[in-house]
Amino acid sequence: MRFVFLLTALFLASLNLRPVITSVSPLLGTIRETLGMSGSMASLLTSLPVLCMGFFAPAAVKLGSRWSIERTIAYCLLLIGVATAARYMVNSAWLMLLTAFLAGIGIAIIGPLLSGFIKENFANPTAMVGVYSMSLVVGAAFGSAFSVPLQTVFRHSWQASVASWSVLAFIALCFWWRPVWKSPKSTVPALAGAQAKSKKNDLKLPLTNKRAWLLTCFFGLMAFMFYSLTAWLAPIVEERGYDKQTAGMILTLFTLVQVPVSFLLPILVSRFQRRVVWLIGCSLMELVGLAMLQLPVTPWLSCIFLGIGAGGLFPMALMLPIDETANTEEASALSAMTQSGGYMFASLGPFCVGFIHDAAGSFPPAIMGMMTVVVIMILIQLKIGNRKVRHVHSREKVSA
């Protein structure tokens, strides 16, 4: 029963980390017209939370140490819920940007702490990353798919549509507000001393660790590709002569393909190991998909390859800090470092693709640039290699 409760809490918390971003995109034209936002200002509704995810991720380590992982996640879910609900009363561009900023802070802090939560509470944390990553993808898909229908349901009120996603945060709070998983105090002095020592070290990011920087570079390149494809796949398809509706459906398929892949891949990696093979395999899928966009091949097939690649790389990037660390505090610290640097770099992805497109007048040079990024990512994956998973039971973990 405890396992089911923890799994549900993990799923619901993860589900809240993307709808506040993706729910805006389908309604962006209406939002711009209503609030009088310029194109550059409107783009901040997407890029600002991503920048927050990079800038505020290191704060997760200190806050998790001060308040505990569970309480910190609960506070951040409340912040996301309040910020999202406030969109119902938005009547200015700056207020809308403020909600994006506040929600972005909550998302930034929850992300690394969920890695520590998984490491701390589950006997097979590598497999549990599949639930984490799948929930992220499902949340993103829900946000983009249902925002327009919700606008219709709420009598064409885009404010009510984007604010309605706050319900997810308040549902999740039912599982997180009371930290019922407090570990029993150890009666063994040696163990208590080890835990105290770990607490002293948990405030430091591994900035002097070369391997940590490799993992950060990999996360950044992975996220760079993900956000670039999310932002520009539909326009790329339109440039090839397809209408907007078809381009939107192809982008939806790109997202849907990621759902089963992001869930199953961590389970496969946990079972068969040899993670470098899975890493490079997913990157090659992205490379093939990008190459197909340059060839007279239907983009429906291209988006399947791209979805498999992106859907596999994302949970792998979340899983690496858990695999590479010995305890909860190290997992949270390494996750904070990889996500901080990674998301800051990733926020440049859509801009770089757009800049190359504007300079060249077409997408093929930009696609070549993305292919180069994937090649660099493969080289880093070869350096990361395989690492034996180390499970240290800092508290009693639950198993299925």
Q: Which fold has domain 1-178?
A: Growth Hormone; Chain: A; (1.20.1250)
**CB-based contact 371:353 (threshold 8 Å):** no
Determine the pLDDT at residue 399: 54
Residue 297 and residue 362: Cα distance in Å, rounded? 18
pLDDT number for residue 187: 34
**pLDDT (tens place) for every residue of the chain, 400 residues total:** 788 989 999 999 999 999 998 888 778 878 888 999 887 788 788 888 888 988 999 999 889 888 888 999 999 999 999 999 999 999 999 999 999 999 999 999 999 999 889 988 898 888 888 899 999 989 988 888 888 889 999 988 999 999 999 999 999 999 997 654 454 433 333 333 444 444 444 457 888 889 999 999 999 999 999 988 887 888 899 899 988 778 878 888 898 899 999 999 988 888 877 889 999 999 999 999 999 999 999 999 999 999 999 999 999 999 899 888 888 888 889 999 999 999 999 888 888 888 898 899 889 999 999 999 999 999 999 998 776 444 434 444 555 5
If phi > 0 it is left, if psi is from -120 to 50 it is alpha, else beta; for residue 65 that is alpha
Q: Looking at this protein, which amino acid is placed at residue 233?
A: L
Determine the CATH number of domain 204-388: 1.20.1250.20
Q: What is the SS3 assignment for 298?
A: coil
In this structure, which amino acid lies at residue 47?
S
**93 with 38: CB under 8 angstroms?**
no
How many C-beta neighbours within 10 Å does residue 72 have?
A: 25
Q: At what angle do helices 210-239 and 328-346 cross, to 10 degrees?
A: 40
Q: Please provide residue 122's backbone torsions phi and psi, each rounded to the nearest 5 degrees.
A: -120, 140
* Residue of 222, 227, 221 lying closest to 353 (CA atoms): 227
Specify the residue for token string 């998909």: 289
Task: Say what the pTM is.
Answer: 0.80
What is the C-alpha separation between 302 and 259, in angstroms, rounded? 17
At residue 252, φ and ψ (nearest 5 deg) are: -65, -40
Q: How far apart are CA 263 and CA 135, in angstroms?
A: 9
Number of Cβ within a 10 Å radius of residue 28: 17
Q: What is the pLDDT of residue 292?
A: 96
Classify residue 122 by its DSSP letter. Answer: B
In this structure, what DSSP letter does residue 136 have? Answer: H
**Alpha-carbon torsion angle 209, 213, 216, 217, nearest 10:** -170
Is the fold of 1-178 the same as that of 204-388? Answer: yes
Could you tell me if 383 and 210 are in contact, meaning their C-beta atoms sit under 8 angstroms apart?
no
- Give the three-class secondary structure for 398: strand
Give the domain ranges of the chain.
Answer: 1-178, 204-388
Residues with Cβ within 8 Å of residue 104, at least 6 apart in sequence? 48, 49, 50, 51, 52, 53, 56
